[in-house]
Amino acid sequence: MQFQREFIERIRREVPIESYISRFVPLQKKGRNMVGLCPFHQEKSPSFNVSTDKQFYHCFGCKASGDIFQFVMSYEKVDFQRAKEVLSEYSGIPIIEKGKEEIERTELLYRVNRKALHFFQENLRGPQGLAAREYLTSRGLGEEIQKSFQLGFAPAGFQNLIPKVFSSREEIKAALEVGLIRESDKGKEPYDFFRERIMFPVFDLSGRVIAFSGRIVGPGKEAKYVNSPASSIFDKGRTFYHLHESKEFIQKSRTAILVEGYLDVIGLVDKGIDNTVACMGTAVTENHIRTIKKFTDRFLLVLDGDSAGRKGALHAAELCLKEGLDCFVVLLPEGKDPFDLSKELNRQELHKLLDQPIPASSFVVEELLEKADSRALPEKKRKALNNLYQFLKGFNRDSDREFFLSLGARQLGISMDAVLRDYKGGGAKFASPGSDNNREKAQKKASGPNPAESCERKIIALLVRMNSLFHFSEELSALEFLDPKSAFLWDFLYTRYASEEEISPASILSSEIPGEFKEAIAPFLLEETEMAPEEGAKVFQGLLKQQRVFVIDERMSELDSDSSLEQMEKLTKLAYYRTEKAKLLENIRNENSGVR
């Protein structure tokens, strides 16, 4: 709702978070931030930080973080609606509830989206859509499929929608709100956001157009897909592509199939697998799972078999398990996606592939243990168990925790009794020898990010704080992230960047992403150092190089423990990695000495 968004933005703009929080928590100035005792857990030393510049809080003890609305919800133990009322009463800024005018406004948003869809469809069928039609046909998507999925084409140029589609002031304002056009920063007319792209319309459960995704025609340096920004009628953290069309098939089969992309959906549906959906350019969220649970008892994740696909499947499977949704995983051959396979396999072969899924519980444990088994070195087993213990924090029932511990124990060849004692003792069994105090310190340290994770999260935090660094997008897209949370955050940020949505510490910490990712990045967003753009770019490039060093270290570690390689092949690869690492470290040293 437009009025609600204006109220939220005004509260964030006009009510300093430190002023509100200091009513309940005594705060003291510390550098550019303010600190105090956390109101959400018992502590003797202050670990609760409030950023006055970025308008968010983060506790280094219990990991609570968020903006002013999140603070009110957590402190007062109320929902978002009541938090709005509390802040309205405190600030004197009135809440305007949805009335007749707002209902009419919402209908106008649906209407401008529908008009835009008709325009895009006409362009796909016309002379300007020839290249797009040829591309779609070359991918096996003929005219019948194009019509079935209501595909369209946004032509080249910045001034197509105005005045060809929208001419009244009300329609132009509505088109701005749903992201079809954007304000020009040069004082000129608003310009088309989607240009020279194949358009995929997104419908709500009532069949109304709520958003679009645009794909470039063929290869290019631009983002392959850009999506409509969030609006009062479009919440990408809850929306599935094709759910409106597939919901009856999902209810009938009691199974929903999740794939990664729009073409993946189209490819499987074309083969008669109609109960297929995809997320809208973002990773699966708790709200996605809660939405799909209304229609099905079973979720089948069919994702690419590459590293990114496995990480996406792991994240989605974890959420399903924690939300109590029966979940299975189908990992495809590396380099293949569901759309590719829909063109290579016949219907019977495709169904056979989907009929052999892995239970999510087994997949999650295997991924968390990083394929360690009974033959793994003690160090690798220790790391594997720590990953498993961290994952189990999200479960409240002892029976669930013991189930996953038993799977881990079996795979690692360790007795269940030993693993259970270790888990209940906080992992002390695998801590370094020494006093209890030393073990406690080691556990405390292990709970924080390791150097590689810290490096990657600093990269992400710098992007949030200095949006100009997005001109390094190509380098970032080529990175092999070692930290799944950083990989998720990069995908999330790039989606927002490509859609021209706000990227700031407060907007990220109040977004729809799961809390674990906010907890991971919040400490790095509190960094007080202010840098000029040139200095920020140098620091950023140094972090990118350091990240590549960590990747090389990981590859060398994997080679050391790989018993399947011939000795000569292993030595050759190790020598190559050592040379590459030495070059990177030399480059980093030279740049650091140059800065001084």
∠ CA 69-70-73, nearest 5°, is: 90
What is the H or E stretch that residue 362 is in? helix 360-368
Summarised one tens digit per residue, pLDDT across range 283-299 is 788 888 888 888 888 99
In order of 91, 131, 172, 253, 448, the CA distances from 231 in angstroms are 25, 31, 15, 32, 36
The pTM of the full predicted model, rounded to 2 decimals, is: 0.68
Answer with the residue of higher pLDDT: 532 or 100: 532
pLDDT at 29 > cutoff 70: yes
Summarised one tens digit per residue, pLDDT across range 44-81 is 889 999 988 888 999 988 888 889 999 998 888 888 88
Phi, psi angle pair for 274, to nearest 5°: -80, -15
Mean pLDDT for the chain? 85
- Write down all domains in the chain, each with its CATH number in brackets: 2-91 (3.90.580.10), 100-227 (3.90.980.10), 240-358 (3.40.1360.10), 369-446 (no CATH), 451-595 (1.10.860)
CA-closest candidate to residue 502, choices 233, 182, 199, 239: 182
Rg (CA), the chain: 26
Looking at the chain, the whole-number percentage of residues with pLDDT higher than 90 is 34
* Whether 443 contacts 510, CB under 8 Å: no
Tokens of 7: 């109220």
Render 493-523 in DSSP notation, one character per residue.
HHHHHHTT---SHHHHHTSSS-HHHHHHHHH
Tokens of 369: 């243990």
Summarised one tens digit per residue, pLDDT across range 492-523 is 888 788 777 888 888 888 887 878 888 889 98
Q: What average pLDDT does the segment 373-392 reach?
A: 86
How many C-beta atoms lie closer than 10 Å to residue 566's C-beta?
A: 8
Per-residue confidence at 434, pLDDT binned at 50, 70, 90? very low
Summarised one tens digit per residue, pLDDT across range 206-264 is 899 999 999 998 776 677 888 998 888 898 888 999 999 999 999 889 899 999 889 99
Per-residue confidence at 155, pLDDT binned at 50, 70, 90? very high
* Whether 85 contacts 93, CB under 8 Å: no
pLDDT at 108 > cutoff 90: yes
* Whether 486 contacts 458, CB under 8 Å: no
